[in-house]
Amino acid sequence: MTLRIGMVGLGNIAQKAWLPVLANARDFQFVGAFSPGQQKARAVCDSWRIPLYSTLDGLSDACDALFVHTSTATHFSIVKQLLLAGKDVCVDKPLAATLAEAEQLVALAHRHGRKLMVAFNRRFAPRYLQLKQVNPLASLRMDKHRCDSVGPHDLFFTLLDDYLHVVDTALWLGGGGTLQGGVLQTNDEGEMLYAEHHFHYGNLQITTSMHRRAGTQRESVVAIADGSVWQVDEMRELRQETAGRLIIEPVPGWQSTLEQRGFVGAARHFIDCVQNQTMPQTSGEQALAAQRVIEKLWRDSDRE
């Protein structure tokens, strides 16, 4: 029986990253999509030549599994409804707007025996997968800066919406980590300016960093091992220096941007897990671990 896939939410990330992947269905059927903003959704669905459903229930009934790309505030209600309907779900990070809601969704997925995956696309980026094979590491640093993105949301929103990517990716690359300390700088309106945190995992030191007004949209990871230094820039170029010799691996010419950034791998992984009845690598439990770190960073900043 052919697996039936649907999409909930047709905003910017869905249009740029997920629709191009799912619309290229091979061993599954892309049934269609639902979005509360029906007028805008109609234009999107028409351009991709996919059916637009008028209700979430209608789409759910026609599918075996669904991708959810709605606003974070709606994740809890939508994912809960789909899990209760017996559907497997892949949802954008974060899993839910609060840790308590995220924990409820993980428990619900367990009770109903459903797959619940959080789409941490960087875990499926080929360059980061390549870097993860390098061990043992002495230090790892991940920077993800923004050009001019201070506000309009408060500190907690930005930590959960964006800094979560940095924390999750760095700790995944390092194999884990315990928080040692760090800084969170905000403006007078309580909006995030800069974050830097330090973790350790055995002998490995891990640093995460994000500046919201750095004048650049730069993302890089630098890892130091015994005898070599590795650097990945923008999930594209890999630089390895060993014994004074520098090797630069440019991005493969055949690889699309969505493959480089892990969206293709993430979507394929979820679909394979549903088809083969295996657990996703970025399961709800994995999402809880990262969200608990973010919650701790935020609460600790409140006491400073």
Instruction: Classify 284 as helix, strand or coil.
Output: helix
Q: In what order do the strands lie in the sheet with 228-233?
A: 178-186, 192-201, 204-211, 137-144, 219-225, 228-233, 237-242, 245-249
Cβ–Cβ < 8 Å for 162, 217 = no
Q: Write down the mean pLDDT value for the chain.
A: 95
Question: Nearest to residue 195, comparing CAs of 142, 254, 128?
Answer: 142
- On the question of pLDDT at 303 being above 70, the answer is no
Region 13-22: what's the mean pLDDT? 95
Cite the DSSP H helix spans in the chain. 12-13, 19-22, 38-48, 56-61, 72-84, 99-112, 126-132, 155-158, 164-174, 257-260, 263-276, 284-303
One fold for both 3-119+263-281 and 122-256+291-303?
A: no
Domain spanning 122-256+291-303, CATH architecture: 2-Layer Sandwich (3.30)
Region 30-39: what's the mean pLDDT? 94
Instruction: Classify 51 as helix, strand or coil.
Output: coil
CA distances from 258 to 71, 111, 121, 180, 267 (A): 21, 34, 10, 34, 11
Q: What is the CATH number of domain 3-119+263-281?
A: 3.40.50.720
Q: What pLDDT score was predicted for residue 26?
A: 83
Region 160-173: what's the mean pLDDT? 97
- Please list, in sequence order, all residues whose beta carbon lies within 8 angstroms of the beta carbon of residue 240, skipping any fewer than 6 positions away: 228, 229, 230, 231, 246, 247, 249
Q: How far apart are CA 135 and CA 81, in angstroms?
A: 42
Region 158-169: what's the mean pLDDT? 97
In which element (H, E) is residue 138 found?
Answer: strand 137-144
Question: Nearest to residue 127, comparing CAs of 3, 223, 194?
Answer: 223
DSSP letter, residue 92: P
Region 263-286: what's the mean pLDDT? 95
CA distances from 111 to 23, 75, 107 (A): 31, 19, 6
> Mind listing the pLDDT tens digit for each residue in 54-111?
999 999 999 999 999 999 999 999 999 999 999 999 999 999 999 999 999 999 999 9
20 prior amide bond cis, ω within 30:
no
> Mind listing the pLDDT tens digit for each residue in 197-238?
999 999 999 999 999 999 999 999 999 999 999 999 999 999
CA distances from 292 to 80, 189, 282 (A): 20, 25, 15
Q: HSE-up of 92 (CA within 13 Å, CB side)? A: 23
The structural domains of the chain, with segments of one domain joined by +, span: 3-119+263-281, 122-256+291-303
Supply the pTM of this predicted model.
Answer: 0.95
Q: What are the backbone dihedrals phi and psi of residue 30, each rounded to the nearest 5 degrees, phi first?
A: -85, 100
- On the question of pLDDT at 304 being above 70, the answer is no
Confidence bin at 1 (pLDDT 50/70/90): confident
